[in-house]
Amino acid sequence: SVAPSVRLFFALWPQEAVRKQLARLARRIADQCAGRCVRPENLHLTLAFIGEVDSSVVPILRQAGSAIHRTSFDLLLDKLHCWGKGSIIAAGVSQPCGELTVLVQDLRNQLSAAGVRYDTVKFVPHVTLVRNAKREPEQKHFPETIPPVAWAADRWSLVQSRPTPYGSAYQSFADWALAS
């Protein structure tokens, strides 16, 4: 028999008001760029991508997450990234966020110490909004009619990604609060 494997990542999960703003922006950009919007319930900011692992790794990941103690912080999503010849459009930050960088570094350190592999690509904070865009957005900053998204980040999660006929479905395995 084959050991059950799971596809996992750590992410900041937006609260409802932020999710609504991001969903509205995704819809706007998808219309403008003839792309496919990420479903509102799937909008998130990846902190570390683990990928496919044996389910026996899950407790190790929970432990790594629980060892991190950081406080909440404000994130301002105020720019757009266009990747892959414009086919992926993501919301990003024009100003580096020190607290977010430190959270990601803590997480990477914990994962390394636990012997867990993760994607070591340079961390570029982003929320993917649209895939398969046929053209780039008119502006690289947010459309003037939509204000930057102010996200008071107060929790993060270990998330499982499962393929469905309608695209990926995400389910949280563990959640951690960022202390206020």
What residues line the site for ligand 2AM (CB under 6 A)? 9, 46, 49, 119, 128, 161
Minimal distance, residue 145 CB to ligand 2AM, in Å: 25
Which residue in 86, 90, 97 sits closest to 25, CA to CA? 90
Minimal distance, residue 58 CB to ligand 2AM, in Å: 16
| 71 versus 105: smaller Cβ distance to ligand 2AM | 105
69 is catalytic: no
44 is catalytic: yes
Beta carbons of 126 and 80 less than 8 angstroms apart: no
Backbone phi, psi, residue 46, to 5°: -70, 130
Minimal distance, residue 122 CB to ligand 2AM, in Å: 11
Beta carbons of 130 and 83 less than 8 angstroms apart: no
| 71 versus 167: smaller Cβ distance to ligand 2AM | 167
At CB < 8 A and 24+ separation, what contacts does 104-109 make? 104/47, 104/48, 106/68, 106/70, 107/10, 107/47, 107/48, 107/64, 107/65, 107/68, 108/48
Minimal distance, residue 119 CB to ligand 2AM, in Å: 4
178's tokens = 């960022």
The secondary structure of 81-106, three-state, reads: EEECCCCEEEEECCCCCHHHHHHHHH
| 69 versus 162: smaller Cβ distance to ligand 2AM | 162
The active-site residue out of 44, 69, 81, 141 is 44
**CA-CA distance, 42 to 170, in Å (whole number)?**
7
13's tokens = 């999960």
The active-site residue out of 69, 81, 126, 141 is 126
| 46 versus 157: smaller Cβ distance to ligand 2AM | 46
Active site residue ranges: 44, 126
